[in-house]
């Protein structure tokens, strides 16, 4: 096919990628990893409960090469996040996480994340629809170890979940769509990168309850660029049923 | 409880975390068949790998310290008001000086240029570099059209007014170890290059001598100057 194209015109664009595409992809991955994404099992409650959740993200290896340059980005191998959810007996769920400015490994990050969902039982199936939004920024050595760059992101997501109990194990799956809007200011050269993109995401998970505790394992994936594992442990506050 | 623990362990065993960043992907390539000209591949190549930064006015992707008068999304050096905006017809000598392989500080009164593209830009493939070097060697032509024939007698006046001070008899002049005027390669003399340098040079002189003004040179005068230059005694081969 390329040979035929060569016969027709003098110049043919082929091959793989540009630095803009590489930069956009890297920003998308970081935006997603920094998000409030775990769906967790769409459990239904019969009285109001508040849940404190600690998520652990094993960070995947990130090939941070752009053009001929290896970006300095060096995230920690495990990232913990603390968030809260409130469950209402009518099926509503609200959640949020907020970090006013935390320092880790010479990076400074702040973010806010919100989610709103509705859950319902259909016979033996649990279901959920959820909208989420997150907005954050990170300052630190992203492109060069000697300079502090600024990365900003916004994510808006909408997903549905379906779950089923197998014994005590609540197994679930989910699919959704995420819109990402991100920007990177590179201190070294004064370059400003920005872009918006969208991706399907989905995953499978299992939640194991133990008294007021919930232990959750979730395999999360976007359609093209990321597979990530999320481990969560949560504790429910509220009166015992 | 044991079964649940086993279920979790099984989940962990099959779960994975990985990314596809495009970091291992080779750069996109503009394949050029035949003689490279601006209209045959070089223009597309320059737009793809240079023009996102080298654009007038500068883009968000342009580094803070970038030259502000170079636009590689166009071929001709042009006037924008009273500012001369250099086009792709002006970069042949920079390629000759090796800017695709290393930084260049060969030109007097000119910013030191880093190797292009910058490290984080989309790299040039070897075939693309070869095409740009070949294009530079023949005067960075726009297309394969033949230059109009000029009269060298008519070209002498403009040459001695504007060009000889820097280029002398074709061998160039130096300020220390830098070019005050670069040597002229015989094969690189084109009317397009003459017109490009003319506009750039006139813009540096205020007021313009001998009644010349900051206007693009017409094709015939450019052809006359070219004809005269081809007779210079110390051209670089």
Q: Residue B234: inside a domain, yes or no?
A: no
pLDDT grade for B1, boundaries at 50, 70 and 90: low
Comparing CB atoms, the residue among B22, B117, B120 nearest residue A25 is: B22
Are residues B124 and B30 part of one domain?
A: yes
Question: What distance in Å separates the CA atoms of residue A33 and residue B3, rounded to the nearest whole number?
Answer: 31
Are residues B132 and B156 part of one domain?
A: no
**pTM of structure:** 0.85
pLDDT grade for A8, boundaries at 50, 70 and 90: very low
Q: What is the DSSP pairing of strand B78-80 with strand B83-85? A: antiparallel
Q: Residue B236: inside a domain, yes or no?
A: no
Q: Residue B124: inside a domain, yes or no?
A: yes
Two tokens at B29? 């390539």
Scanning every residue of chain B, which has its alpha carbon at the shortest distance from the alpha carbon of A72? B120
Lowest-pLDDT choice from A40-49, A97-106, A184-193, B187-196: A97-106
Topology classification of domain A2-237: Lipocalin (2.40.128)
Question: What distance in Å separates the CA atoms of residue A26 and residue A32, rounded to the nearest whole number?
Answer: 10
Cα–Cα distances in angstroms (integers) from residue B163 to residues B78, B166, B183, B217, in the given order: 19, 6, 12, 14
Contacts of A58 in chain B (CB under 8 A): 17
Residue B6 has pLDDT above 70, yes or no: no
Question: Is the Cβ–Cβ distance between A25 and A197 less than 8 Å?
Answer: no
Of B71, B106, B137, the last residue of a domain is B137
| Of residues A127, A108, A128, A106, the one with CA closest to residue A117 | A128
Lowest-pLDDT choice from A193-202, B94-103, B105-114: B105-114
How are the residues of chain A apportioned to helix, strand and coil, as percentages rounded to the nearest 5?
Answer: 10, 65, 30
Are residues B125 and B159 part of one domain?
A: no
Cα–Cα distances in angstroms (integers) from residue B215 to residues B77, B167, B200, B203, B230, in the given order: 11, 21, 10, 9, 24
Mean pLDDT computed over every residue of chain B:
90
Question: Is the Cβ–Cβ distance between B103 and B114 less than 8 Å?
Answer: yes
Question: Is the Cβ–Cβ distance between A64 and A95 less than 8 Å?
Answer: no
Question: What distance in Å separates the CA atoms of residue A133 and residue A232, rounded to the nearest whole number?
Answer: 19
| Of residues B67, B86, B68, B66, the one with CA closest to residue B77 | B86
Are residues B169 and B99 part of one domain?
A: no
Which residues, 6+ apart, have CB-to-CB distance to B37 below 8 Å? B135, B141, B142, B143, B144
Question: Is the Cβ–Cβ distance between A217 and A191 less than 8 Å?
Answer: no
Are residues B124 and B156 part of one domain?
A: no
**Complete DSSP assignment for A87-122:** E-TTSEEEEEEEEEEEEETTEEEEEEEEEEEEEEEE
Q: Is B8 on the interface with A (CB under 8 A)?
A: yes
Question: What distance in Å separates the CA atoms of residue B3 and residue A237, rounded to the nearest whole number?
Answer: 27
Contacts of A20 in chain B (CB under 8 A): 52, 61, 122
Are residues B218 and B131 part of one domain?
A: no
Q: Residue B142: inside a domain, yes or no?
A: no
Interface test with B, best of A33, A41, A68, A193 (most B CBs within 10 A): A68
- pLDDT tens-place string over residues B41-70: 999 999 999 999 999 999 999 998 899 999
Are residues B164 and B130 part of one domain?
A: no
Question: What distance in Å separates the CA atoms of residue B143 and residue B163, rounded to the nearest whole number?
Answer: 25
| Residues pairing with A156 in the sheet | A133, A179
Question: Is the Cβ–Cβ distance between B179 and B185 less than 8 Å?
Answer: no
Question: What distance in Å separates the CA atoms of residue A146 and residue B4, rounded to the nearest whole number?
Answer: 48
Predicted local distance difference test score (pLDDT) of residue A36: 67
Predicted local distance difference test score (pLDDT) of residue B12: 62
User: How far B144 CA lies from chain A's nearest CA (Å)?
Assistant: 12
Q: Residue B237: inside a domain, yes or no?
A: no
- pLDDT tens-place string over residues B114-124: 999 998 899 99
State the Rg of chain A over Cα.
21
Two tokens at A207? 């939640």
Comparing CB atoms, the residue among B24, B26, B44 nearest residue A15 is: B26
Are residues B156 and B129 part of one domain?
A: no
Of B102, B137, B172, the last residue of a domain is B137
Are residues B11 and B128 part of one domain?
A: yes
Question: Is the Cβ–Cβ distance between A55 and A78 less than 8 Å?
Answer: no
Q: Domain range spanning residue B52?
A: 2-137
Comparing CB atoms, the residue among A11, A66, A229 nearest residue B30 is: A11
Contacts of A29 in chain B (CB under 8 A): 19, 21
Q: Residue B37: inside a domain, yes or no?
A: yes
Contacts of A13 in chain B (CB under 8 A): 28-31, 44, 48
User: What's the number of domains chain B is made of?
Assistant: 2
User: How far B86 CA lies from chain A's nearest CA (Å)?
Assistant: 22
Question: What distance in Å separates the CA atoms of residue B213 and residue B200, rounded to the nearest whole number?
Answer: 12
Q: Residue B235: inside a domain, yes or no?
A: no
Comparing CB atoms, the residue among A11, A169, A192 nearest residue B41 is: A11
User: How far B39 CA lies from chain A's nearest CA (Å)?
Assistant: 9
Are residues B163 and B108 part of one domain?
A: no
Q: How many CB pairs under 8 A join A and B?
A: 154
| Residues pairing with B91 in the sheet | none
Predicted local distance difference test score (pLDDT) of residue B57: 94
- pLDDT tens-place string over residues B63-106: 988 999 999 999 999 998 888 999 999 999 999 999 999 999 99
Are residues B90 and B164 part of one domain?
A: no
- pLDDT tens-place string over residues A134-175: 999 999 988 888 899 999 999 999 999 999 999 999 999 999
Q: Is B147 on the interface with A (CB under 8 A)?
A: no
Whether residue B57 is preceded by a cis peptide bond, meaning omega within 30 degrees of 0, is yes
Contacts of A169 in chain B (CB under 8 A): 4, 7
Comparing CB atoms, the residue among B4, B41, B119 nearest residue A169 is: B4
Q: Residue B143: inside a domain, yes or no?
A: no
The helix (H) or strand (E) run that includes residue A196 is strand A191-210
Comparing CB atoms, the residue among A18, A25, A215 nearest residue B122 is: A18
Contacts of A228 in chain B (CB under 8 A): 17
Residue A16 has pLDDT above 90, yes or no: no
Determine whether the interchain pair A11/B21 forms a contact, defined as Cβ–Cβ distance below 8 Å. no
Residue B7 has pLDDT above 70, yes or no: no
Are residues B167 and B87 part of one domain?
A: no
């Amino acid at each position: 096919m390329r040979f035929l194209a060569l016969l027709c015109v003098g110049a043919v664009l082929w091959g793989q990628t540009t630095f803009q595409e590489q930069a956009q992809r890297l920003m998308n991955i970081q935006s997603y990893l920094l998000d409030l994404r775990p769906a967790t099992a769409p459990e239904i409650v019969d009285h109001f409960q508040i849940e404190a959740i600690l998520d652990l993200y094993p960070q995947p290896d990130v090939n941070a090469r752009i053009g001929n340059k290896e970006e300095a980005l060096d995230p920690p191998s495990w990232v913990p996040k603390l968030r809260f959810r409130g469950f209402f007996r009518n099926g509503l769920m609200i959640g949020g996480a907020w970090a006013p400015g935390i320092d880790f490994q010479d990076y400074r990050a702040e973010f806010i994340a919100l989610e709103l969902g509705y859950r319902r039982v259909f016979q033996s199936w649990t279901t959920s629809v959820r909208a989420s939004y997150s907005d954050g920024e990170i300052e630190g050595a992203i492109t060069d170890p000697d300079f502090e760059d600024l990365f900003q992101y916004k994510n808006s997501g909408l997903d549905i979940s379906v779950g089923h109990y197998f014994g005590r194990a609540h197994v679930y799956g989910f699919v959704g769509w995420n819109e990402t809007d991100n920007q990177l200011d590179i201190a070294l050269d004064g370059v400003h990168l920005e872009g918006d993109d969208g991706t399907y995401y989905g995953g499978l998970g299992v939640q194991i309850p133990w008294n007021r505790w919930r232990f959750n394992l979730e395999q999360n994936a976007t359609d093209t660029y990321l597979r990530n594992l999320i481990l969560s442990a949560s504790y429910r506050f509220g009166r015992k049923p | 409880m044991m079964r649940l623990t086993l279920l979790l362990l099984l989940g962990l065993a099959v779960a994975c975390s990985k990314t596809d960043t495009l970091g291992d992907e080779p750069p996109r390539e503009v394949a050029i068949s035949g003689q490279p000209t601006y209209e045959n591949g070089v223009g597309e190549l320059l737009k793809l790998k240079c023009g996102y930064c080298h654009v007038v006015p500068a883009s968000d992707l342009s580094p803070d310290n970038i030259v502000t008068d170079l636009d590689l999304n166009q071929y001709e050096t042009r006037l924008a008001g009273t500012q001369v905006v250099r086009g792709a017809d002006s970069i042949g000598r920079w390629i000759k000086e090796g800017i695709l392989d290393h930084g260049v500080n060969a030109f007097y009164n000119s910013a030191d240029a880093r190797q292009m593209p910058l490290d984080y830009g989309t790299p040039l493939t070897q075939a693309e570099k070869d095409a740009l070097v070949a294009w530079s060697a023949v005067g960075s032509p726009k297309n394969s059209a033949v230059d109009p024939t000029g009269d060298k007698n008519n070209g002498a006046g403009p040459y001695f007014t504007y060009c000889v001070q820097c280029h002398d008899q074709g061998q160039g002049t130096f300020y220390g170890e830098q070019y005050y005027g670069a040597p002229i390669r015989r094969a690189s003399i084109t009317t397009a290059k003459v017109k490009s340098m003319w506009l750039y040079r006139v813009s540096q002189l205020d007021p313009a001598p001998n009644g010349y003004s900051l206007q693009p040179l017409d094709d015939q005068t450019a052809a006359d100057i070219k004809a005269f230059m081809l007779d210079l005694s110390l051209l670089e081969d």
